[in-house]
Amino acid sequence: MLKSPFKPRNPKDFKILIFYPNLHMSALMPQSVGIFTALLRREGYQLDLFDCTYYQDIDSLTLGKNTNEEKVENRNVHKYDNTEWHEKGVKPKNGIVEDFKKKIATFQPDLILVSVLESTYYLAIDLLKSIPENQRNYKTLFGGVFATYAADKVIKNELVDYVCRGEGEGAVVEMANALCSGGRIDQIKNFTIKGNGNIYRNSMRAPIDIDTVPIPDWDLFEQGSLYRPMQGKVYRTVGVETQRGCPYTCTFCNSPGNNVIYKDETSKIFHRKKSIKRMKEEFDFLIKKYDPELIYFISDTFLAMSNKEFDEFKEMYLEYKIPFWMNTRAETINQHRADSLEEMNMLRCDIGIEHGNADYRKNYLRRNVSDEVQIKAFEMLADHKYTPKANCIIGMPDETRDLIFDTINFTRKLPKTMEATGAFIFAPYHGTPLRELAIKKGYIKEDDIVTLGITGGDKSMLNMPHLSSEEIGGLARTFSYYTKFPEDRWGEIKIAEQFTPEGDKMHEKLGKEFDKEYRYPLSQKSIDAVM
């Protein structure tokens, strides 16, 4: 039996620090932080937040580059004017290590909650390492995607005490209450914990009814955290969760893994949808409180719904018509939906193409959708005021240069009115079948973790004899050029693939031309239309 290391006390005397290891001006305020803030406030706990979002000196840690810069460089995201950020009260900071130490010293938390992605895990660990051992008078609880799929690795770190796997709403509150009351902690479901020289891996609880999840409370954040760039402009943005999980089984994504975990351990499927009634309540609250200029629908595949569900959502959302951004798949598009999204005032939709070779797509990615269906989807989306964008991935296991050009040539078949397509470099995330394939083939090691410099950057983690990491990086930064420039310019583009002074000079030249001719005019058209 393992009991809480704390003496029993009232929740108002138990301090919980929520630690958000985010990249500089990167992701939206996370749903998890907002939800746990709301839940723990209900219980009466003292809460504080350390948010890494504003810090520019994350690069000073041993974590790789700021990936925002790399995403702009590779034409995966738009360049934005920092002046616009500053006018809205968003002030960059430096001194992340010293500020974190100061937060620990002044707040003196009993428990630190950390939600980590694979790419932010080392950021969290490095900051926790900065605290002198004699000041570590707290326990740490790690959760999030990486903690779920790599719990056995995370719990072995000396700075980690408890790991929450899967959904945390019920589990984290139960753990906080047990710690605060001095109760037993070794049998709480969803947790992997260590103590008394043992590691306890408890079973999973069934998925919750997401209609019962509280509306996120983001009051711990600075209000500047509401602002995020989209297509070169900065908007006051809130995220609204419409579904949790995904019904598809793509091998490069760890979201489908939740269905496997929960089915094996609870006989329940992880993928669930919020009711229209619940979403309307959330819209009404968030609009009144935060007055958003842009809404991001948090869903792996937003249009994974029946026609009846879509029409019900449309009818509800036409009351608001706030510009929005979402992700979906080509199979979920039909003409009615394509037209309706314009009525609803969509600003942008990202469509996952991922790969242009149908056989590779089917056999490696489990995406059994034809070229014809995907092209037809983009044709239906074309000539609307919003911006459709195709997302592609390169540098996947066993992929060759010729296969990458299959993807390039496929995107060249898409309507010319579509915004230029960029490519992300494959990241072998824990919990994905493609990671296991990469390990089996010897392309990565079992202990490898996706770091900051990988996602959207110029590096590949895979060590493949037939396609070097440098070649993958060069194709990533020139991918958009290949999709839009005429083939007689491909000789120049090949030069721009090279990370040499000559290659960098050509990359800069082509980038300026590309942005002027193929990118910003289309984006500005959609911005002007919806605002």
Q: Where are the domains of the chain?
A: 11-85+92-201, 231-467
pLDDT of 97: 93
Question: pLDDT digit string (tens) for 75-107?
Answer: 556 665 566 666 676 778 889 999 999 999 999
φ/ψ of 346, rounded to 5, equals: -65, 140
pLDDT of 387: 85
pLDDT in tens, the chain (531 residues): 899 999 999 999 999 999 999 876 666 678 999 999 999 999 999 999 999 888 887 764 444 444 556 666 665 566 655 666 666 767 788 899 999 999 999 999 999 999 998 988 999 999 999 999 999 999 999 999 999 999 999 999 999 999 999 999 999 999 999 999 999 999 999 999 998 888 999 999 999 999 999 999 999 998 778 888 777 788 899 999 999 999 999 999 999 999 999 998 999 989 999 999 999 999 999 999 999 999 999 999 999 999 999 999 999 999 999 999 999 999 999 999 999 999 999 999 999 999 999 999 999 999 999 999 999 999 999 989 888 889 999 999 999 999 999 999 999 999 987 776 789 999 999 999 999 999 999 999 999 998 755 555 568 999 999 999 999 999 999 999 999 999 999 999 999 999 999 999 999 999 999 988 887 555 555 555 665
pLDDT of 71: 62
Q: Do residues 18 and 138 make contact, with C-beta atoms less than 8 angstroms apart?
A: no
Amino acid at 521: P
Distance from the first to the final alpha carbon of the chain:
59
Helix (H) or strand (E) holding 48: strand 46-51
Q: Do residues 452 and 67 make contact, with C-beta atoms less than 8 angstroms apart?
A: yes
Q: How far apart are CA 304 and CA 310, in angstroms?
A: 9
Q: How far apart are CA 437 and CA 28, in angstroms?
A: 32
User: Which residues touch 306 (CB under 8 Å, ≥6 apart)?
Assistant: none
- Topology of domain 11-85+92-201 in CATH is Rossmann fold (3.40.50)
Closest CA to 179 of 45, 345, 32, 351: 45
Q: Do residues 7 and 183 make contact, with C-beta atoms less than 8 angstroms apart?
A: no
Q: Do residues 391 and 301 make contact, with C-beta atoms less than 8 angstroms apart?
A: no
pLDDT of 36: 96
Residue 484: HSE in the Cβ half-sphere, 13 Å Cα cutoff: 22
DSSP 224-267: GGGEEEETTEEEEEEEEE-EES-S---TT-STHHHHHHHHHHHS
Instruction: Please state whether the predicted TM-score (pTM) of the whole model is above 0.85.
Output: yes
User: Which residues touch 221 (CB under 8 Å, ≥6 apart)?
Assistant: 29, 33, 49, 51
Q: How far apart are CA 325 and CA 526, in angstroms?
A: 12
Question: pLDDT digit string (tens) for 320-333?
Answer: 999 999 999 999 99
Closest CA to 420 of 522, 279, 306, 497: 522
3-state helix, strand, coil in the chain (%, to 5): 45, 15, 40
Q: Do residues 423 and 394 make contact, with C-beta atoms less than 8 angstroms apart?
A: yes
- Topology of domain 231-467 in CATH is pyruvate-formate lyase- activating enzyme (3.80.30)
Helix (H) or strand (E) holding 83: helix 82-87
Tokens found for residue 323:
């510009």
pLDDT of 529: 60
Exposure b/e, 296-317, CB count within 10 A at least 16 = b: bbbbbbbbbbeeeebeebeeeb
3-state secondary structure of 318: coil
DSSP 270: S
pLDDT of 62: 46
Q: How far apart are CA 425 and CA 438, in angstroms?
A: 14
